[in-house]
Amino acid sequence: MTETTLAGPSLADFEAARLVVSRVADVTPMESSRYLADLLGAPVHLKCENLQRTGSYKIRGAYNRLSKLTAEERSHGVVAASAGNHAQGVAFAARELGIKATIFMPVGVALPKLQATRAYGADVILRGHTVAEPLLAAAEYAQETGAILIPPFDHVDVVAGQGTLGLEILEQVPDLETVIVPIGGGGLLSGVASVLKQAAARDGRRIRVIGVQAENAAAYPPSLAAGEPVVISLLPTISDGIAVAKPGLLNFEIIRDTVDEVVTVSEDDTARALLVLLERAKLVVEPAGAVAVAAILAGKIIATGPTVAILSGGNIDPLLMQRVISHGLAASGRYLTLRIMLPDRPGQLARVSQLLAEVHANVIEVLHTRHGVGLQLSEVELDVSVETRGPEHREQVVAALRDAGFAPNVD
């Protein structure tokens, strides 16, 4: 494989884009993780685009695309549609280049993302309840006003901008063998994969590229199987930043020819990854940005040499973070909810509390009621949530209750 055999930008195009993007984008840190390295059996490095300006890699492609506009095109302004990161990238790039930006966002967009987009100077219009509705509205706005529509991933200039991340990775981890990349529409993966494969061919070496999607928004596996982009029905996912129903045309073509494997991760996998990144790496990452780490935790990655996992963004709503942390604790066996039917007589609640204390389970919440559905007149229902230290301790807590004659149902 050489530069000229791939669709999209050449290595020279990526290098030129890097000169442009470097005006606004930081060279983000590359952190190592002993915890993940022990799990994978190979060195693991984290490319921290969650620490990028605007909180994600999106600034790279947005700024590169806007910088290519002619003076005439700039005079008409730009328009985009996004639930968050692309919106912020376009708004920031437009402000830096002195271009008027209009951004369509769904009505339920997270407040921090809405506020940040407005703070960068864009006019924000809320439309619809899914990303599809703002996309349609943005296209109509472009047709009516002449504003230039800035796509989130399916454009050669966007791909070139996102691929500058691959050039940084090559410099920061020269001996890398595997790179793990989140996928939505494919802008980041197509750019990074193209850079790495072209560089590997030039240098006579091999670099594996693995893409990761959320199970509930995985358009690439069926598309790759069909040989062309296909539309899927999206299911709810915490990884809203990569919830895209159809791959981009250019992105698909590049990914089909460069990416070695695409894997998927569950919601639980992603929640665990966020918790690991918070506790072990001290990094705040949004769900879509954590799926590369989720794939390692879920055992979906086989690697023998230096491996880079891209953390593509860190724009997470604090309220969502609170829910995800709780979910991650449960998924990691560190948060346990028990439902226990007790005889309706004095001392039963105290007895359960004593048993939990003896096995060092910290009680978080208790609900004690006589009014549950299906309860006998002589019964009460106890719902108790406790913190545990992991799966083994979780089993110890349940066993202690059962040994004492109770029959806890585990949620």
Catalytic residues: 58, 312
How many Cβ atoms are within 10 Å of 324's Cβ, its own excluded? 25
Task: Determine how many CB atoms are found less than 10 A away from the CB of residue 149.
Answer: 15
CA-nearest of 171, 186, 195 to 45 is 171
Q: How many CA atoms lie within 13 A of 29 on its CB side?
A: 7
Q: Which amino acid, one-letter code, is at 102?
A: T
Q: Count CA within 13 A, CB hemisphere, residue 281.
A: 28
State the sign of the Cα–Cα–Cα–Cα dihedral 123, 129, 130, 133: negative
Strands (E) located in 49-159 = 78-81, 101-105, 123-126, 148-149
Strands 123-126 and 409-410: unpaired
Residues 6+ apart with CB under 8 A from 260: 208, 209, 210
How many other C-beta atoms can be found within 10 angstroms of the C-beta atom of residue 96?
Answer: 16
Nearest-angstrom CA–CA distance, 55 and 49: 7
Within 10 Å of residue 130's Cβ, how many Cβ atoms?
14
Question: What is the C-alpha to C-alpha distance for residues 264 and 205, in angstroms, rounded to an integer?
Answer: 27
Angle at 90 between CA 293 and CA 290, to 5 degrees: 5
Q: Which DSSP string do the residues of 19-45 spell out, in sequence order?
A: HHHTTT-----EEE-HHHHHHHTS-EE
- Tell me the Cα Rg of the chain: 24
Check: CB of residue 219 under 8 Å from CB of residue 231: yes
SS3 126: strand
Residue-wise DSSP of 135-160: HHHHHHHHHHH-PEE--SS-SHHHHH
**What pairing do the DSSP bridges indicate for beta strands 261-265 and 307-311?**
unpaired
